[in-house]
Amino acid sequence: MPNADVKVPFVDLKAQYAAIKHEVGDAVSDVLQSCHFVGGPALENFETRFAEYLGAKHCVGVGNGTDAITLALRAAGIGRGDEVLVPANTFFATAEAVTNAGATPVFVDVDASTFHMDAPYAESAITSRTASILPVHLYGQAMDLRPILAIAQRHNLLVIEDCAQAHGAQMHGKTVGSSGRLTCFSFYPGKNLGAYGDGGAITTSDPALHQRLRLLRDHGSPVKYQHHEIGFNSRLDALQAAVLTVKLPYLDIWNAARHANATKLVELIRELPLVVPEIPGRLRHVFHLFVVRCTQRDKLVAFLTQHGIQAGIHYPVPLHLTPAYQALGAPGRGALPVAEQLASEILSLPMFPELNDDQISYIAEVLHDFVQIYQPEAPVQAFELAPLLS
């Protein structure tokens, strides 16, 4: 049952489902009647349509976004003995996938304005073992990869993109996922393009990588009972593919609504002592998350909760400080100062296509009340990066 105390949910998947439930029902029914649940026409149809939407040559559906990165690394021949540069402020899965591929994630500090990987810091982290850079298009904002690509070219490194939060985002007129590089997507239900369970995909323009990815996702097997290498069981199932095919034509509409809602909210809270997102061109940021910074973040979370507004923190612990990576020898506190400070200040406010004007106004009203009561200082927007720890 819905929580009567919640006036503004963090995300409202029920509202989205209500608008498309008949289409979803028909698509799921088709799969059920076909009894073709793994692979088959539904998956092939989605892979074709998603590749066309992005402007990519090839798309390979896989079990989830984490596997997408792991398989991309494996397909590229990156593994034991290799290092992969990973931003410290992202979801754990980005680094976890590197470890699962057998490589070592090297954590890189981030830009205080965009929260993306800091390019100069990334270059300073390169060693003789560095094989790849794994930038993340975080929170729905397409990252300007030109500095990273220049670094990669200078050092002969592969760039693999984590696009799990940037479905439909664009940079310089190109949709994220269309570069031809290995690009990895998640279709977790809360994503801008979300399945009704786990799911993921990888795009590439390289036909050899495309074929190797198809092999790796299915036990290294091109034909049943023929196994050419050790692979994975990571296939996007037909039911999820059918749901995603129904949702895909709505993605641009939903993204436009997110951008419009974010624009409205920013206008109402711009003068508060918070750091609010910049509103770039509509397609550059698709607002998977609406992240602000507040020096009294934990008090603000409690205040919002008290007033029926659900909020989230993405992400409360930088990856290098997680117990898992501390146990593997990651640098300690103080090594990545921007990511560490952001972790104590960032807060994700409700943001979804169905968010209405009354809800947006209420969020702004509660934020104004919080500022009047607690009078937080404006967060410092300039950081001095600590020297790289060897």
Question: Is 224 annotated in the active site?
Answer: no
Distances from the Cα of 357 to the Cαs of 18, 132, 362, in angstroms?
Answer: 19, 44, 8
pLDDT in tens, 171-191: 999 999 999 999 999 999 999
pLDDT reading at 42 higher than 60:
yes
pLDDT reading at 81 higher than 60:
yes
pLDDT in tens, 20-37: 999 999 999 999 999 999
* pLDDT of the residue at 64: 98
Q: What is the pTM of this model?
A: 0.96
* pLDDT of the residue at 282: 72
Spatial contact of 27 and 242, defined as CB atoms under 8 Å apart? yes
* pLDDT of the residue at 265: 98
Integer Cα distance of 184 and 223 in angstroms: 25
Spatial contact of 253 and 105, defined as CB atoms under 8 Å apart? no
Name, in order, each residue with C-beta under 8 angstroms of 63's C-beta and a sequence gap of 6 or more.
198, 199, 200, 217, 232, 233, 234, 235, 236
* pLDDT of the residue at 283: 80
pLDDT reading at 258 higher than 90:
yes
Q: How large is the average pLDDT for residues 38-52? A: 97
Mean confidence (pLDDT) of the chain: 95
Q: How large is the average pLDDT for residues 336-348? A: 98
Q: Which of 7, 21, 174, 191 is catalytic?
A: 191
* pLDDT of the residue at 382: 60
Query: Which residue ranges form the domains of the chain, and what is each CATH number?
Result: 13-249 (3.40.640.10), 250-374 (3.90.1150.10)
pLDDT reading at 389 higher than 50:
no
Q: How large is the average pLDDT for residues 5-20? A: 96
